[in-house]
Amino acid sequence: MSSNSVNHPHQKPILVLLAGRTFPEIRKTDGDFDDWIAQGLGEQNAVTRMDAREVEALPSPAEIAGVVVSGSHAMVTEHLPWSERLAQWLKSCVDANVPVLGICYGHQVLAHACGGVVDYHPDGIEIGSHRIQITEAAQQDLLFAQMPGEFPAQLVHSQSVRKLPAGAVLLASGEHEAHQAYRVGNCAWGVQFHPEFSSQAMKKYIQLLEQKLISENCDVQALNSAVVDTPDSAELLRRFAEICNRK
């Protein structure tokens, strides 16, 4: 596996799988998706990092304690070869009951892998800090049970899971996006929002996407001023690590 793994003898690693990277301007000062995810999982965990776009073969599901799939600036509907390989591999993880957490692009490619439908959201981009509401089913869910009924989260996406996979359990919704979180199988979750994002990273995304947002008639100033810290959302990463370590 990757040389970026942390040495924890006798402990299977949690795989942090990059589906893309953040903007270079952010990476220079704040780090990248895999840094933020690994930090959120907790330094006490064995973590291996790989770039799904660059590796020829992903590890056997039996070799890992769980996997977190990052966001990306790519689109699932492009059906890029690496993304389709990733989808097949994620389905094998679901079938093997290996814990999966898909974030944004990861959320969408997991849904695609399991028979859901991904496409552009008809109302355009969703960006900034927005309120998420959990469903009744989430109150009995292994990952979401301790979440408050409503919490803020950081979001930036143009595509969405337009139709959940058959048998998937809806766990959270928002005003713009109906499918903010779901579970497939026993322990595979997709979240459209970014539990790994800081409010600082969110503000930088709004700044860097300003021209696109203006072209979509978004009020950039209002979006920026509405950005808040999202500690409840961030807790999902720590809780996911606990689930992986119990397996």
Q: Which residues are catalytic?
A: 104, 194, 196
- Round to whole Å and give the CA distance between 67 and 61: 9
Side-chain-side CA neighbours of 177 within 13 Å: the count stands at 36
CA 74 and chain centroid, separation:
14
Q: Are strands 169-174 and 126-134 parallel, antiparallel or unpaired?
A: antiparallel
